[in-house]
């Protein structure tokens, strides 16, 4: 069985956020699974996400979970609901905590995490990188 | 279905809890198991069933085998059970099932570890952050603590329902109020709402005092058949209802953030017991974080969704409150030795129902709800216990 995460992680390495859409029921999902969690179908097509989403929750981390993150605190870990429907964990960048609210419109960027991973992060719409 | 009611909790035991230097997981579990057997008037020779949980302080491939070996047991029913923080409640349900299916006559449920002495708080925080609660590829790279994963629930609850930091702090203050009356509790000095709000912010909106302790300790419960229980030392306490619930493994993909499968677990347990939340005199709710208790109160049906914050205000779940909750002081103040943590809630419920809770005794405690929560608020077990 191929790793269901592989297409997503390969996309991340190229600064692309692609979602697995079910070829039967048409719905996308995250986190990636071998079968569509909505209908159980195993045939999935990976398509580019719009990169638009809204803020579903967040937490500003003040205490690093390990020394790797110590230089970065405080940082904002967030849950973002993508325009296509699925939700993922990410970070919100370039936004003070006071500006955060549920439903805040966000757009996709990519950033390198302290462990070296290239990962999607989000910034408020209209804030340029 | 009468199988569950044919079981009885006849023995309870705790090891010393908090910082207990020089003790291995097996030392602590022996202390708890011997206390529970003595409480029941039984010995290891009477035990033919064993349930335990994994620990994070030893490299055991087979925890139940390690524990059985230590105690010199050769049980005909034996298993390592892991439904994370719900394991304490779940062990009682599984023990009753083993009795009902003739696989054992007396089951020892035991768990515990020297989490504080082995790791220290910083090391435990780091260990838990890398323990797989956050998805290793899709969450951990962003740097969440385990408390961050619960903070995401708390933040959403506050923004969606207007729950305040003061209301979260009420839960911590209530737990400390109970712990002050528990001689075995790790933290007993009183705290105020202001103290919680002034404690260092770990991961907003959760302060240090919104988070569970890291502890050394172990806990044990003896479950046997009702017929046998009548001849033992203690008033038997009966499991009247039990239920589990599961919604998600990783919080990142869970969109209904503030509604949990504790509703499913509670509904099943209440239905089997034939009672409702209004019939419960004392509720031992899993309290890994202050937000956990607020969400459980709502999902278990003690108040409406979104009203948990208002519900806990004014000391309502603390000593002297209308609904006494987690009367030993819980994971927030009594102690949290890993998967054993939620089993202390079971032990406290038994104490309350026996009328043995000393200065923290709840008057007229005849029915208790015990609730365990595991993972990132995704896995649940509820028990209704009674004096029948």
What is the residue-averaged pLDDT of chain B? Answer: 97
Tell me which chain B residues have a C-beta less than 8 angstroms from the C-beta of A91.
142
| Per-residue model confidence as pLDDT tens digits over B91-125 | 999 999 999 999 999 999 999 999 999 988 888 88
Contacts B256 to A, Cβ<8 Å: none
Chain B interface test: which of A18, A55, A59 (most B C-beta within 10 Å): A59
Determine the structural domain holding residue B71 and report its residue range: 4-117+215-229
In a domain, B351, yes or no: no
Q: Mutate which of A79, A82, A96 to disrupt the B interface (most B C-beta within 10 Å)?
A: A79
Residue-range domain boundaries for chain A: 6-48, 52-124
pLDDT in tens, B209-245: 999 999 999 999 999 999 999 999 999 999 999 999 9
- The CATH number of residue B39's host domain is 3.40.47.10
Task: Judge whether B49 lies within some domain.
Answer: yes
Contact B262, B371 (CB under 8 A): yes
State how many domains chain B has.
Answer: 1
Mutant choice from B123, B140, B143 vs A, greatest count of A C-beta within 10 A: B143
> Which run of H or of E encompasses A14?
none
| Averaged pLDDT, B317-338 | 98
Residues in chain A closer than 8 A to B210 (CB atoms): none
Nearest of A64, A57, A66 to residue A106 by alpha carbon: A57
Contact list in B for residue A119 (CB cut-off 8 A) is 141-142
In A, minimum Cα distance to B256 occurs at A56
CB-CB under 8 Å, A90 with B153: no
Q: Is residue B283 part of a domain?
A: no
Q: Kindly tell me if the per-residue pLDDT of B47 is higher than 50.
A: yes
Q: Which residues of B234-243 are buried (b: 16+ CB within 10 A; e: fewer)?
A: bebbbbbbbb
B183 by Cβ neighbours in 10 Å (0-12 / 13-18 / 19+) ranks as exposed
Question: What is the distance between the alpha carbons of residues A73 and B42, in angstroms, rounded to a whole number?
Answer: 53
Distance (Å) from the C-alpha of residue A36 to the closest C-alpha of chain B? 14
Cα–Cα distance measured from residue B292 to residue B312, given in angstroms and rounded to the nearest whole number: 12
pLDDT, mean of residues B364-371:
98
Q: Which residues of B touch A65 (CB under 8 A)?
A: 125-126, 129-130, 143-145
Q: Is residue B21 part of a domain?
A: yes
pLDDT band of residue B131 (cuts 50, 70, 90) is: confident
A90: chain B residues, CB-CB within 8 Å: 142
Its sign, for the CA torsion B209, B211, B213, B214, is: negative
Q: Does B145 contact A101 at a Cβ distance shorter than 8 Å?
A: no
**Closest Cβ–Cβ partner in B138, B139, B204 for A59:** B204
Tens of pLDDT, residues B244-261 = 999 999 999 999 999 999
Considering the four listed CATH numbers 3.90.226, 1.10.3470, 2.40.50, 3.10.450, the one that applies to the domain covering A52-124 is: 2.40.50
CB contact under 8 A, B138 and A77: no
Give the residue-averaged pLDDT of A95-109: 97
- Residue B30 in any domain: the answer is yes
Confidence band, pLDDT 50/70/90 cuts, at residue A5? very high
Where residue A129 falls among pLDDT bands split at 50, 70, 90? low
Is the bond into B200 cis (omega within 30 degrees of 0)?
no
Measure the CA–CA gap between B22 and B329, rounded to whole angstroms. 25
pLDDT of residue B1: 39
């Amino acid at each position: 069985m191929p790793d269901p995460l592989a297409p997503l992680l390969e996309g991340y390495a190229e600064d692309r956020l692609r979602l697995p859409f079910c070829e039967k029921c048409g719905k996308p999902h995250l986190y990636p699974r071998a079968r569509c969690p909505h209908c159980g179908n195993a045939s999935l097509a990976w398509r580019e996400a719009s990169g638009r989403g809204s803020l579903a929750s967040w937490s500003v981390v003040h205490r690093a979970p390990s020394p790797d993150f110590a230089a970065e605190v405080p940082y904002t870990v967030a849950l973002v609901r993508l325009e296509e429907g699925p939700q993922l964990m990410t970070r919100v960048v370039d936004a003070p905590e006071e500006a955060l609210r549920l439903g805040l419109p966000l757009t996709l960027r990519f950033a390198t995490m302290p462990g070296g991973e290239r990962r999607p992060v989000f910034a408020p719409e209209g804030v340029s990188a | 279905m009468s199988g569950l009611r044919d079981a009885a909790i006849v023995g309870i035991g705790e090891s010393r809890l908090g910082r207990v230097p020089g003790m291995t997981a097996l030392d602590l579990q022996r202390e708890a198991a011997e206390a529970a057997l003595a409480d029941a008037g039984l010995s290891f020779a009477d035990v033919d069933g064993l349930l335990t949980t994994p620990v994070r302080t030893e490299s055991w491939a087979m925890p139940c085998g390690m524990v059985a070996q230590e105690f010199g047991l050769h049980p005909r029913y034996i298993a390592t059970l892991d439904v994370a923080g719900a394991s304490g409640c779940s062990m009682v349900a599984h023990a009753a099932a083993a009795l009902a299916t003739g696989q054992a006559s007396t089951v020892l449920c035991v768990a515990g570890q020297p989490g504080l002495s082995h790791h220290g708080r910083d090391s435990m925080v780091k260990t838990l952050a890398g323990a797989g609660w956050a998805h290793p590829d899709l969450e951990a790279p962003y740097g969440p603590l385990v408390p961050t994963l619960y903070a995401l629930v708390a933040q959403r609850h506050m923004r969606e329902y207007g729950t305040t930091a003061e209301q979260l702090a009420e839960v911590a203050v209530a737990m400390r109020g109970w712990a002050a009356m528990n001689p075995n509790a790790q933290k007993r000095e009183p705290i105020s709402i202001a103290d919680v709000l002034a404690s260092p912010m770990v991961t907003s909106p959760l302060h240090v005092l919104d988070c569970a302790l890291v502890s050394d300790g172990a806990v044990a419960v003896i479950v046997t058949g009702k017929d046998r229980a009548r001849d033992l030392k203690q008033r038997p306490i009966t499991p009247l209802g039990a239920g589990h619930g599961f919604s998600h493994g990783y919080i990142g993909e869970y969109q209904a953030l503030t509604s949990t499968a504790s509703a499913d677990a509670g509904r099943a347990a209440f239905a089997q017991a034939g009672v409702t939340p209004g019939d419960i005199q004392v509720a031992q709710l899993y309290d890994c974080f202050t937000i956990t208790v607020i969400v459980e109160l709502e999902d278990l049906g003690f108040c409406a969704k979104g009203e948990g914050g208002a519900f806990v205000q004014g000391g309502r779940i603390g000593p002297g409150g209308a609904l006494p909750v987690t009367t030993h002081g819980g994971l927030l103040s009594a102690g949290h030795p890993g998967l054993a943590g939620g089993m202390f809630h079971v032990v406290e419920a038994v104490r309350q129902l026996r009328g043995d809770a000393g200065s923290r005794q709840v008057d007229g405690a005849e029915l208790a709800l015990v609730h365990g929560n595991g993972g990132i608020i995704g896995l649940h077990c509820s028990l209704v216990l009674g004096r029948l």
